[in-house]
Structure 1
């Protein structure tokens, strides 16, 4: 299956494209505001100039997260990370969920409570601004949700899929994924998903409803070199001996 290259660098494709209005950017490096989505991106991880731009963007001795990077320049420290997967829609049945309600900024405190109980992945106080978020309530209480996060040319990521543990097994997450996908399809775009590679249960669910595993990705937590008076490193990615690619 041949798919567009932006999927290989989805965070950059979003920040350089449909989400450019969120981007904090220096040259070939960009990031979302920390209260929206705490990730940085490079136009080309093999380009030393992009790493210099990233250093200028985030500053010295700063910790941040980035996806799709397997090696880093000399002096940049890998302090954590993991593996993820990217899945794309190849046969999803998208349809509205009549019981779902639109969630907005006023719902953020309740959204954050649900996220704390279910841990679907990073969600910040302004993440809800990235796209459409839908929820299902029971007796007024938010018990399940899903929404849109990364938006890149031709594609939108479905994210924050979660259900209160007391209400699992009722198909709520599937109904919400299909409903969010219906809105994405109405714009002429296709849905995609990212998940932790360790979350095999979620991956099986997504595959069972029409998503296909496209690629595995690396998620790194890095710290920039230097002190408050430091300078950007000059070495190209992959030349260091101290980095610990995951």
Structure 2
């Protein structure tokens, strides 16, 4: 049997690897703290006991976010909240490029980052998401107008995420520049950048392909509700 690749189960690979300090475990179920990111992880082929552990970890009525193979189906009494059929793209040949307009972002920038996320909806971003890795941004007249950063961190790889640009500044290539700037930092560590996108987000997939990222596999992002009333 071939050994699984770190990107096959990126949440578990991250939380058993570089992001282990974030990990909250119950049996074989694991999650990040809620104020970091809503992602939870399970074994590649979860059994009934694993779903029971996840239920105990998250609590009755909680909605858990999973990044799993499409073949993973929750038990019948877990209600589906949403499902996004996505793609995973790896950048083995992406070297990255630094950019003089790009600046580092830190804890003091989180309120502005959250406001930009609210305007652009790139995906989950919480008050402590910035602790997952390096985040970079572009400012105009002192205002944060675009950003991107690092999220999941399986061994030897780092995900580029939270790529977003204020609607008033789109069309200037800021997303491409930020992705390459983040990728440059990942490459400096000797790691490979990768990305996720919704399968129907053809514009993003086209952009990532133009930057050198290549399709690796399909992946499903699903939100499911733990049985029982919320506490």
Which secondary structure does the structure 2 equivalent of 1:145 belong to?
Answer: strand
Alignment partner, residue 233 of structure 1: none
TM-score by length of 2: 0.92
Q: Take 2:115 and 2:3, find their aligned partners in 1: how far apart are those partners?
A: 37
Which secondary structure does the structure 1 equivalent of 2:194 belong to?
Answer: strand
Deviations 1:186-220 (A, max 9, x none): 11100000111121101100001100011111122
Ranges in structure 1 where 5+ consecutive residues have no aligned partner = 230-246
Answer whether contact 1:93 1:209 (CA < 8 A) is retained.
no
1:73 Cα deviation (Å)?
Answer: 2.1
Deviations 1:46-91 (A, max 9, x none): 3333222212211223222112153112422223222111100043
Deviations 1:79-104 (A, max 9, x none): 32221111000432411112111101
1:228 Cα deviation (Å)?
Answer: 7.9
Which secondary structure does the structure 2 equivalent of 1:216 belong to?
Answer: strand
1:126 Cα deviation (Å)?
Answer: 0.8
Q: Pairwise mapping of residues 27-176 of structure 1 onto structure 2 (< 5 A)? A: 27-69=27-69, 70-176=72-178
Between stretches 220-229 and 153-162, larger displacement belongs to 220-229
Alignment partner, residue 22 of structure 2: 22
Q: Which has the larger radius of gyration?
A: 1
Alignment partner, residue 241 of structure 1: none
- After TM superposition, what 4+ stretches of structure 1 lie above 6 angstroms from structure 2? none
Q: Take 2:13 and 2:177, find their aligned partners in 1: how far apart are those partners?
A: 28
How many residues align structurally?
A: 228
TM-score by length of 1: 0.87
Alignment partner, residue 10 of structure 2: 10
Match of 2:223 among 217, 221, 224: 221
Alignment partner, residue 189 of structure 1: 191
Between stretches 91-100 and 151-160, larger displacement belongs to 91-100
Answer whether contact 2:146 2:175 (CA < 8 A) is retained.
yes
Which secondary structure does the structure 2 equivalent of 1:36 belong to?
Answer: coil
Which secondary structure does the structure 1 equivalent of 2:111 belong to?
Answer: helix
Q: Take 2:213 and 2:64, find their aligned partners in 1: how far apart are those partners?
A: 30
Between stretches 160-169 and 2-11, larger displacement belongs to 2-11
Ranges in structure 2 where 5+ consecutive residues have no aligned partner = none
